[in-house]
Amino acid sequence: MSRSRDRTEDFKDNLRTVALSLNYDESKVAAIFASFIMHKPRQKSPFTKAALMTLESIEALEQFIVKHRKDYADLHRTTQHERDSIEHEIIVFIKACKEQIDILQSRIYDEDKSGSSKTWLGMRNDNSHADIVAHKHGVVLILSERLHSVTAQFDLLKGIRFQDAINRAIPRRKPERVVKSSSTDVSSANHLEMRESGELPPEPLRVQQQLLDDETRALQVELSGLLDAVQETETKMVEMSALNHLMSTHILKQAQQIELLYEQAVEATNNVELGNKELSQAIQRNSSSRTFIILFVLVLAFSIIFLDWYDSF
């Protein structure tokens, strides 16, 4: 028996000779040799790239919320306009992430209908295709749940801000009532004094009373303006909280639907596997029954021939 010989070194020498004849330098030759040992990483599919990009966007959103949490919740750190701008940026970010998840979901449906999804080693198989579709649905479900958890953190911050706005609005309503009641008491007392005395007050007292009335009216106007601003802020906060809650509810419903689709895809995969097993068993039964019939026919034919030969004698 002849012994095998390792020709790897000869192959490398020939490869080096050919590379040098093609004017390759040592770096290119070393890169060629390295490619035999360390293969290039497999190129990611467009779905995987989009999913990773969506995950990075959600993580960036979470980092943004954590970074501006104190600025948004603490009333003494930032102004109302700055908090509104932070909230607007977060809402835009959430909508962008939601749109990316919807694009991934629609891409899964399109690939499933057209049958253009790539399988392992490029081989088309029903089982592998169902597994890939189920895996993609699972990825979209994980992204939806991650986005829902991030939006839940933002809902907590909005609840804190809304509660602070209510707490600031309630104490400001009481002084206004007190001022109104005090102004009415002062005016009524002055009228009573004027009626009791039956004569007009002196000029300095009249000027002082006029100034006091003007200050009271200005204070009432200022307090009413502040109250209107607080009420408008409360209305906006309630509307934005309702919209955010509605969006979170829709995201949660979509996550539940995706989870249901994932379970159905897994169940379909199991059904296909069971069907393949049943088909293989049916093929085996068919082959065994065919063999039995052939043997029976052969035995019967030989029996007839033997009986005919026996009768001839």
pLDDT on residue 192: 46
For the chain, what is the mean pLDDT? 76
pLDDT on residue 70: 82
Q: What percentage of the chain's residues is helix, strand, coil (to nearest 5)?
A: 85, 0, 15
Q: Which residues contact 96 (CB under 8 A, 6 or more apart)?
A: 57
Residue 139 has pLDDT above 70, yes or no: yes
Cα–Cα separations (whole angstroms), residue 77 to 62, 73, 82, 168, 172: 20, 9, 10, 16, 21
pLDDT on residue 185: 52
pLDDT on residue 175: 45
Asked which of 73-87, 179-193, 233-247 is least confident by mean pLDDT, the reply is: 179-193
pLDDT on residue 36: 66
pLDDT on residue 197: 46
Q: pLDDT per residue over 47-64, tens digit each?
A: 888 888 999 998 998 898
pLDDT on residue 127: 56
pLDDT-derived band at 123 (thresholds 50, 70, 90) equals very low
Contact between 234 and 165 under an 8 Å Cβ cutoff? The reply is yes
- Across the range 68-82, mean pLDDT stands at 79
pLDDT on residue 200: 45
Cα–Cα separations (whole angstroms), residue 28 to 9, 25, 180, 228, 252: 18, 6, 90, 75, 54
Q: Which residues contact 115 (CB under 8 A, 6 or more apart)?
A: 129
pLDDT on residue 199: 47
pLDDT-derived band at 115 (thresholds 50, 70, 90) equals low
- Across the range 117-127, mean pLDDT stands at 48
User: Which contiguous run of DSSP H or E holds residue 148?
Assistant: helix 126-197
pLDDT on residue 126: 54
pLDDT on residue 102: 87
pLDDT-derived band at 39 (thresholds 50, 70, 90) equals low
pLDDT on residue 128: 61
Residue 295 has pLDDT above 80, yes or no: yes
Q: pLDDT per residue over 167-210, tens digit each?
A: 766 654 444 444 444 445 545 555 544 444 444 455 677 777 77
Q: pLDDT per residue over 212-234, tens digit each?
A: 888 888 888 888 888 888 888 87
Which domains can be identified in the chain, with CATH numbers? 12-37 (no CATH), 54-264 (1.20.58)
Going by C-alpha positions, the residue among 194, 190, 171 that lies closest to residue 182 is 190
Tokens of 62: 């979470």
Residue 313 has pLDDT above 50, yes or no: yes
